[in-house]
Copies of this chain bind each other. A is one copy, B any other.
Amino acid sequence: MAKEDKRIDILRAASRVFYLRGFEGTKIDDIAKEAGIGKGTVYEYYHSKQELFDKAVSYNREQYIEQVKATLSQDGTLRDKFIAFAKYQTELVKTHIPIFNMMCTSKIIAREMGALMLEQNIRVAEILTGLVKKAVDQGELREDINPEMAAAVMIGTINQYSSKKVIFFDAQPEDIDYEQMADIIFKGIG
């Protein structure tokens, strides 16, 4: 228990620091201090910096995917689900899970992390693609659309507009007009 709790404590501390400074920019000592423990103690729980990083990525990814699934499995139309997902994704970026940035800050991204990032993005896209197909079947969307592309429009728009507003302009998640975002995606800009 206490042992496992501490493992998680260290993982979360590591996540915070990796998030802020990236893999290379993070010193084990930083993580130890963030967790309020000694440097050597980190190594009692994780064998290497790399392992700690990988575990932190996995941990946050799991958390993320679970939340996405929960968000998208709520009742309602695809429009409702989209708005819920957009809100969640925006909150996420603002507040807590550092997964996106963590993936962008390691020198090894070009090798191992590419697959991880892909997998996660693919899984979310797949879930959304499935929902799009169902919505087509139920007549909520027009029949001639490419579901995969439709899912890309949704995810892409959120990442481009919503997340960036929050990250770069310090906007609050509640300031985003999700209804308008849904309108423009569902009705088109033309």
Interface residues of A, Cβ cutoff 8 Å to B? 19-26, 79, 101, 103-110, 114, 118, 121-122, 132, 140-142, 145-146, 148-150, 152-161, 164, 167-168, 177, 180-181, 184-190
Contact = CB atoms under 8 A, between A and B. Distances in A.
A3 to B, nearest CB: 16
Nearest to A119: B168
Contact of A164 (B121, B146, B164, B180): B121
Contacts of A152: 157, 160-161, 164
Interface of A is mostly: helix
A64 to B, nearest CB: 16
Copies in the complex: 4
Closest 8 CB pairs of A and B: A25-B107, A188-B188, A156-B160, A24-B24, A156-B156, A186-B190, A152-B161, A104-B104
